[in-house]
Structure 1
Amino acid sequence: MIGVELPVFNELHGKIAFRDELGVIPRDVPLMIWEDPVDLVWSEAERAELAQDPETAWLLQTFPAGVHFRPEGEGDSPILLVLWTYHLDPKPVIWPPSFDPEYAEIVMRGLARMVPGLATYLGKMGKPYVDGGYYCKTRENRPLVTPLPVEGAYLFGAVSGFGIMASQAGADLLAAHITGSPLPDYAPAFLLSRYGDPDYVAAIDKVAATSGQL
């Protein structure tokens, strides 16, 4: 709209909601996150069958960390929300978003590695609800809180998966830019102009795009 190119991309993130009718997960547990890489739960027979087909052999690979869940709803609600992004490559934005047909099963097989009791649902959990959206992020997964090279234009964006956590501090920093107030020492780290520094650009090539991300 204003002719400014931004160094951002979109990463598809999905979640499933399903009914834990057996009460495997207590309703009072907090958000739980698995920070180790995951091999999906398969029987030996399933592994042998998947390995024979090039279209399914990728399901035997080690998947990235990050599967997480929490109970959803009040009282006796049996709903669990489960989230996991295992495809980390940039995606063009399509709305509404589209997910792998096997997304729900993959998520549950990853979660069963974290909570073995949930393996009882594999192949018989009914039809979970699947939805999600996109994380807009920079290559090094650091937000942009910055004036733009158009007079009067400012940006607070590319907040990835930590928008709620970063929103207040980011808003304070943006307000300081707009009002001409003194800036904190860390302000340059969030400027768009940081990409004009060759040393910075070289350094972020060594940083994972999931840095700091849940």
Structure 2
Amino acid sequence: MLSQIRPAIVMIVLFTLLTGLAYPLAITGLAQIAFRDEANGSLVERKGVIVGSRLIGQNFAADNYFHGRPSATSAPDPNDSSKTVDAPYNAANSSGSNLGPTSQKLVDRVNAAIEAEFAAGRVDMVAADAVTTSASGLDPHISPQFALAQAPAVAAARKLPEARVRALIEKQIEQRLAGFIGEPRVNVLELNLALDELH
């Protein structure tokens, strides 16, 4: 019996050391050498202060900043732990809304967002990402169309020429990966940081 148990224990210890310790340490070390920025969260730093990540959206609400796409993330309701409340860009609870196309709540939310875009005078045609949430609720990018639609309002709030703001947007557009993967996009955090540097 002991002759059968000993090899089993040796294999458990060996594979625990290999797959639970050696492999994760090797991969972590390799990532730190080859992809240091990505392995550490693609953090964005300004003047020695970490202001965010290129991979996680933030809730910019002020008129003098570009806004990201709506976020469907939530947080526990402080008054009733069995319920949730909207908490835009809550990275601790990344999720989509899971509302289907026949959901009246989704239809009402999208219609309200469209009306808000028109009321703010930001658009003459609403970009899809201006009124719809991403699957994670944390998408850091918006379409160039949505960014350009916000240019007049941001330029007015900052008392800048609209042409200068539009040129900044054009400069910040990230093209398709390898020329055909994905869509052109603008990172909202990096655009807003570049906007702050215009002054």
Q: TM-score of the superposition, structure 1-length normalised?
A: 0.22
Question: As a proportion of its length, which structure holds more helix?
Answer: 2
Q: Which protein has the larger Cα radius of gyration, Structure 1 or Structure 2?
A: 2
Higher relative contact order (CA 8 A, sep 6+): 1
Question: As a proportion of its length, which structure holds more strand?
Answer: 1
